[in-house]
Structure 1
Amino acid sequence: MKGFVSSRLHPAANLLLLVGLMLLAFCIGSFLVMVFNYLLFGVGLREIGDVTKEPSGHPQGWGVSMLSQGVLLLVGFGGAALALPRLTGYSLADYFTPRRPVPLEWLLAAAGLIILSVPFMSGLIEWNAGAHFPGFLKGWEAEAREMEDRAQDLTRYLTQFSTATRFVVGLVVIGVVPAISEELVFRGVVQRNLVQWTGSRHVGIWLAAAVFSAIHFQFFGFVPRFVLGLVLGYLYEWSGNILVPMAAHFTQNAFQIILLYAQQRGALAGAGFDPDSTEALPWWWQVVSLLLSGAVLWLLYKRTRELRPDPLPTQMHTLGSGGMAIARPTTPPPAARTISHDGVDTTR
């Protein structure tokens, strides 16, 4: 398929194109937000800014904020990421899932890995939340903490699920939409082009994880989110299917939402566990969590050899003219399976 833009663009040009598409998509998303908010909640253009700034002070604040967040993220991030491969002449399947289908065990393992890593991540969260900047940055640190406190207050408000309907809406907007939209952008487009630009799978994954964490503008949560970005990046690299990091990302968000809802319904009474707390779980939980998570990652890495007959994505792949992975097998692949010029599994 021929696109409107050359598929041979430099990776930096692709990333700039992504930024341009995101700006356009956010404009479209903002228009849709205005229309939907007026039709569903009777909130006009002049009111939207005040409602989203202080949603707790408006009777429709929760609905307006959830709708705005969901539409902007889905259209602004997901829409732009889907538009880029179409403009450059790729099918969405070839661009985002070059190795398909992916075994169900990959999706389950990705979700299980996130659950197993919770205690270890709690230690990173506590450490990062208590970090301090050098003396000459104290003013900026105070501003950053104030900004994050406001963001946390908004998050607490949006995650007050007084009804089952609100819980379902929260699960979709906070769980499903970010898992789809952010993975399409950061793993599907940003990581892919950074890998091609740097010529290194590892450098591309680490840079994409840093961008993923920084874009959230939560500096006292940068490290745990960066580590999460690394996990998602390697899951995508090893599996070759965007559904795998999506499953892990959804599990990360949904697990928190479910715990919060359970707490609000009294299901965690007496458990001594607060999902909103930044306090770390016991150190030995963290050690066990780290070991188990490392074991799952190692098994998934080893599974890469069995998933396909071609060499490991981090070792033997080069990039074709379109930026897709091309394997260079050292021995003839068994069962007459090979890789096309776009890195898609084909059978002779």
Structure 2
Amino acid sequence: MTELNIESKMHPLNKAGLTLLVSLFGFVLVGPLIGFFFALPFSDGNLMDQLDKLANPVSYPEFRLPLYIMQGCATLIGLALLPALLSYIIDRKGLIAFFTESKNYGLMLVVIFVMTISFMVTDSVFINWNANLHFPEFMGGFESWARDYEERAEDLTKYLTAFTSRGEFALAFVVIAILPAIGEELVFRGMLQTHLLRATKNPHVAIWVSAILFSAFHLQFFGFVPRMLLGALFGYLYYWSGSLLMPAFAHFVNNGFSVVMLYLHQKNVVTMDVESTDVVAPWPVIVLSTLITAGLLYYYKTFLDSKRIADGR
């Protein structure tokens, strides 16, 4: 009874702040630390050798597997397990409860699949624009730092996706596509967006603030806008359905499609490099993909509204 009283007195903004703190603590410190020790048996050398490799992993191709393990633990622990535990403590809501509203909505997964692919085409315009954005002269120092950070992040991404076997591809698919789809959506949509909605009573504010924080979390300033738009799309998918399955599936499709296309590109099956910020579809295709995305979003919302009315909710 005391726990329920404490829970009811905690302001939603405090819950939102606590969610961010716990997630960052788990993702930046606890998860990677646990992953580091799990990865030790899979890398040669002593403890200091591993720390040296960790400081500059792209110079050590053999360190890719340990880095997959560390990244996977960071996401699993920092963005899934610890936030899920926090959610249960402050809201008495476990991880499974976020997905229970998705019964009989199988058709929507097909809609979301097509919608996500079409949105990726539209988003390529913003990816190209944001990647070539230049800051005012007085922010030149920040731009230099940000571009340097972006280049290092790009090098790390290329390193992690330079698959040498099907096993590496499968492991990367889990670490890059599956785990973030669950963990990031739990934190930014399931928890943060919900707390902000309760605090502001405005779904659009909650969705867009969560999307901004979601993009900022990745610390890639020259990809900030397209990732924010993607986060907003996920936010509306969650708000209209009430089930985390919907945005998590969209997130999975977005990341998974990119990983598969990278793998096929390396195998010379496809010529398009999805990681290139210079790849922009022709304008007629952009317009068509935007119309498809908008039309499917409208269908998604009206279907769920009618389903909710039919169910008496």
Query: TM-score w.r.t. structure 1 length?
Result: 0.83
93-102 vs 155-164, which moves further: 93-102
The answer to whether the Cα contact below 8 Å between 2:35 and 2:72 also exists between their aligned partners in 1 is no
Distance of 2:209 and 2:45 partners within structure 1? 40
Equivalent AA in structure 1 for residue 16 of structure 2? L
- 1:234 and 2:239 matched: no
Match of 1:244 among 246, 250, 261: 246
Report matched runs for 1:141-290 at 5 Å: 141-268=143-270, 271=271, 273-279=272-278, 280-290=280-290
The answer to whether the Cα contact below 8 Å between 1:86 and 1:92 also exists between their aligned partners in 2 is yes
Equivalent AA in structure 1 for residue 299 of structure 2? L
Deviations 1:140-186 (A, max 9, x none): 11111111011101101110112111110111000001101100000
Equivalent AA in structure 2 for residue 13 of structure 1? N
Equivalent AA in structure 1 for residue 54 of structure 2? T
Question: As a proportion of its length, which structure holds more helix?
Answer: 2
The answer to whether the Cα contact below 8 Å between 1:51 and 1:61 also exists between their aligned partners in 2 is yes
SS of 1:160's partner is coil
Displacement of 1:195 in angstroms is 0.9
Match of 1:66 among 56, 65, 68: 68
Deviations 1:72-126 (A, max 9, x none): 1110111222012211252326852463425111222112211112221111111
Distance of 1:240 and 1:43 partners within structure 2? 49
Distance of 1:5 and 1:52 partners within structure 2? 45
- 1:17 and 2:26 matched: no
- In structure 1, the partner of 2:306 is 306
28-37 vs 186-195, which moves further: 28-37
The answer to whether the Cα contact below 8 Å between 2:71 and 2:175 also exists between their aligned partners in 1 is yes
User: In the superposition, relative to structure 1, how do residues 177 and 121 fare at CA in structure 2: closer, same or farther (>3 Å)?
Assistant: same
- In structure 2, the partner of 1:49 is 51
SS of 1:60's partner is helix
User: In the superposition, relative to structure 1, how do residues 219 and 28 fare at CA in structure 2: closer, same or farther (>3 Å)?
Assistant: closer
The answer to whether the Cα contact below 8 Å between 1:37 and 1:43 also exists between their aligned partners in 2 is no
- In structure 1, the partner of 2:31 is 29
User: In the superposition, relative to structure 1, how do residues 292 and 4 fare at CA in structure 2: closer, same or farther (>3 Å)?
Assistant: same
Deviations 1:24-81 (A, max 9, x none): 5344423421321123335544233322222233353111211111111110111222
Distance of 1:238 and 1:43 partners within structure 2? 51
189-198 vs 111-120, which moves further: 111-120
Distance of 1:223 and 1:91 partners within structure 2? 32
Distance of 1:35 and 1:94 partners within structure 2? 29
Equivalent AA in structure 2 for residue 32 of structure 1? I
User: In the superposition, relative to structure 1, how do residues 221 and 106 fare at CA in structure 2: closer, same or farther (>3 Å)?
Assistant: same
Displacement of 1:4 in angstroms is 7.9
SS of 1:281's partner is coil
- In structure 2, the partner of 1:325 is none
Equivalent AA in structure 1 for residue 67 of structure 2? S
Distance of 1:85 and 1:290 partners within structure 2? 36
Distance of 1:93 and 1:72 partners within structure 2? 17
Distance of 1:242 and 1:234 partners within structure 2? 11
> Structure 1: any 5+ residue segments left out of the alignment?
310-333, 339-348
Distance of 1:23 and 1:250 partners within structure 2? 21
Displacement of 1:137 in angstroms is 0.6
The answer to whether the Cα contact below 8 Å between 1:74 and 1:181 also exists between their aligned partners in 2 is yes
> Structure 2: any 5+ residue segments left out of the alignment?
none
Distance of 1:65 and 1:5 partners within structure 2? 43
The answer to whether the Cα contact below 8 Å between 2:176 and 2:256 also exists between their aligned partners in 1 is yes
Distance of 1:159 and 1:173 partners within structure 2? 11
Instruction: Give the alignment's Cα RMSD to 1 decimal.
Output: 2.1
Equivalent AA in structure 2 for residue 16 of structure 1? G
Distance of 1:129 and 1:206 partners within structure 2? 21
Identity %: 34
Equivalent AA in structure 2 for residue 178 of structure 1? P
